[in-house]
């Protein structure tokens, strides 16, 4: 069994906590840069390669800037994400807009910013033309349907997914778009989530590369890029084997040379759209044990809750927990580690064997750097926590402050309750 090691020491964390109270999300700048450089190295054989970070995973402009400095682009799925990415400095083709059930205003902004648009459905061609216009470069999202499997191991079920066009639709979409003046085409597909196997991307690549050849032959379209999307996962559990992104890149290269090069399509650019792989291991939720409860089970109550990290509550997802200062102590106590929401699924761990936890201990909840803070919410009036960046020089920078009651009340129409709430929450009316 491998061991998960926090990217900070107990001493570092205690110093941070003396300035910023828990709970908070903490990100590792050095780890983010290291991961980005590894991904770029893995696909450096493709001259046009670009990683478009999935903004939805961790939408913070400071983190986006780090990724931009490492040569990444931004993958956006909403109006707000487009605004953020543009403000950070991503411009035009450095942004992919992949959306579904897309509002008109989102498409209008995407066209105003002249980003690469990835159409989710064939009907969106007419919709886009009606609310804005059709650009010269358009990507289409493909859904092959059925089950997606590797070695008879079903990994996901695209046939049940709401995303993408059928095989017949994407051929027809290319013909329609070409008749409307589109000169450069892209293909996109996402068939499985959080895969922990080096075989996923090469298998997905084969499907998309063969489709690209067929589309070129049947429509005469010039395919300039293929977006392999996300799906490269991480080893949440210590006993899992991490993906080897260098091996994945090499696997994709072999399929590229087998399928696209003989078809005269060796100039096709490859894009990726990673979120979890880029950020999850490089972020953690830090919380303090504030209560112990001894009833039918042993409970540890934390000052964080599912509002800070909801993946365990809604998916039953495993997130490893390190008790800071006790990393090498025997895991001889069985706990449910919980938050304070009025919901019984508000648990970071169930029947987890951990070292003995005392009130005041700091818990480092691993792999919370993607789909952690971004999925937060205000149920029970819980306030979103701060986001902190552990910089390469060891210093810590607050990159998002914690919410206050004033933030929570700010969007209310107070009416007769306004003066009292304003006084109590110190809101300036």
Active site residues: 342
420 CB-near residues (< 8 Å, 6+ apart)? none
Q: Could you give the CA distance from residue 427 to residue 24 in angstroms, rounded to a whole number?
A: 24
Q: Which own/partner pairs from 310-315 qualify as long-range (CB within 8 Å, at least 24 positions apart)?
A: 310/375, 310/376, 310/377, 311/371, 311/372, 311/375, 312/347, 312/348, 312/349, 313/343, 313/345, 313/346, 313/347, 314/345
Q: Under a CB-based contact definition with an 8 Å cutoff, are residues 158 and 191 in contact? A: yes
> What are 308's two structure tokens?
């800070």
- Longest Cα–Cα distance of the chain, Å, equals 73
Q: Could you give the CA distance from residue 83 to residue 372 in angstroms, rounded to a whole number?
A: 21
Q: Residue 129 CA to chain centroid, in angstroms? A: 30
Q: How would DSSP label each residue in 403-415? A: P-HHHHHTT---G
Query: Regarding beta strands 283-294 and 137-141, do their DSSP bridges make them parallel or antiparallel, or are they unpaired?
Result: unpaired
Query: Regarding beta strands 298-302 and 283-294, do their DSSP bridges make them parallel or antiparallel, or are they unpaired?
Result: antiparallel
Q: Could you give the CA distance from residue 374 to residue 151 in angstroms, rounded to a whole number?
A: 34
Tokens 């009907």 belong to 123
Q: Could you give the CA distance from residue 387 to residue 381 in angstroms, rounded to a whole number?
A: 19
Which one-letter DSSP state was computed for residue 330? -
Q: Under a CB-based contact definition with an 8 Å cutoff, are residues 421 and 412 in contact? A: yes
- Please count the other Cβ atoms lying within 10 Å of the Cβ belonging to residue 187: 25
CA distance readout (Å), 394 to 201, 364, 387, 391: 35, 18, 16, 5
Which one-letter DSSP state was computed for residue 126? H
Query: Regarding beta strands 24-28 and 283-294, do their DSSP bridges make them parallel or antiparallel, or are they unpaired?
Result: antiparallel
In the beta sheet, which residues pair with residue 76?
Answer: 97
CA dihedral 118→124→125→127, nearest 10 degrees, is -130
């Amino acid at each position: 069994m491998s061991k998960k090691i926090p990217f900070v020491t107990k001493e570092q964390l205690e110093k941070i906590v003396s300035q910023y109270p828990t709970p908070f999300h903490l990100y590792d700048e050095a780890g983010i840069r290291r991961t980005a450089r590894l991904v770029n190295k893995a696909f450096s054989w493709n001259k046009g390669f670009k990683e478009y970070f999935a903004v939805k995973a961790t939408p913070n402009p400071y983190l986006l800037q780090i990724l931009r400095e490492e040569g990444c682009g931004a993958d956006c799925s909403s109006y707000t994400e487009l605004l953020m990415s543009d403000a950070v400095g991503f411009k035009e083709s450095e942004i992919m807009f992949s959306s579904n059930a897309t509002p008109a205003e989102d498409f209008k902004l995407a066209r105003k910013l002249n980003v690469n648009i990835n159409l989710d459905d064939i009907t969106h061609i007419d919709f886009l033309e009606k609310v804005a216009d059709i650009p010269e470069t358009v990507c289409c999202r493909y859904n092959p349907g059925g089950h997606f499997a590797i070695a008879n191991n079903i990994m996901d079920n695209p046939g049940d997914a709401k995303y993408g066009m059928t095989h017949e639709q994407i051929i027809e979409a290319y013909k329609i778009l070409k008749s409307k003046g589109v000169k450069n085409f892209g293909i996109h597909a996402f068939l499985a989530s959080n895969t922990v196997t080096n075989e996923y991307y090469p298998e997905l690549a084969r499907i998309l590369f063969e489709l690209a050849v067929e589309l070129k032959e049947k429509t005469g379209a010039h395919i300039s890029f293929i977006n392999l999307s996300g799906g490269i996962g991480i080893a949440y559990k210590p006993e899992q084997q991490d993906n080897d992104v260098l091996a994945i890149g090499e696997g994709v290269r072999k399929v590229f040379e087998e399928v696209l090069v003989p078809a005269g399509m060796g100039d096709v650019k490859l894009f990726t759209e990673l979120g979890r792989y880029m950020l999850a291991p490089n972020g953690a939720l830090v919380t303090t044990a504030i209560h112990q409860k001894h009833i039918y089970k042993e409970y540890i109550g934390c000052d964080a809750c599912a509002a800070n990290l909801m993946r365990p509550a809604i998916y039953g997802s495993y997130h490893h927990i390190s008790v800071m200062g006790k990393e090498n102590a025997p895991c001889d106590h069985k706990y449910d580690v919980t938050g304070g929401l009025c919901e019984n699924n508000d648990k970071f761990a169930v029947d987890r064997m951990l070292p003995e936890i005392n009130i005041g201990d700091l818990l480092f909840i691993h792999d919370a750097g993607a789909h952690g803070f971004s999925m937060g919410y205000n149920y029970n009036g819980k306030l979103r926590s701060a986001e902190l960046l552990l910089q390469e020089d060891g210093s810590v920078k607050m990159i998002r402050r914690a919410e206050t009651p004033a933030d929570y009340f700010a969007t209310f129409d107070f009416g007769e309750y306004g003066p009292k709430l304003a006084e109590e929450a110190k809101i300036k009316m």
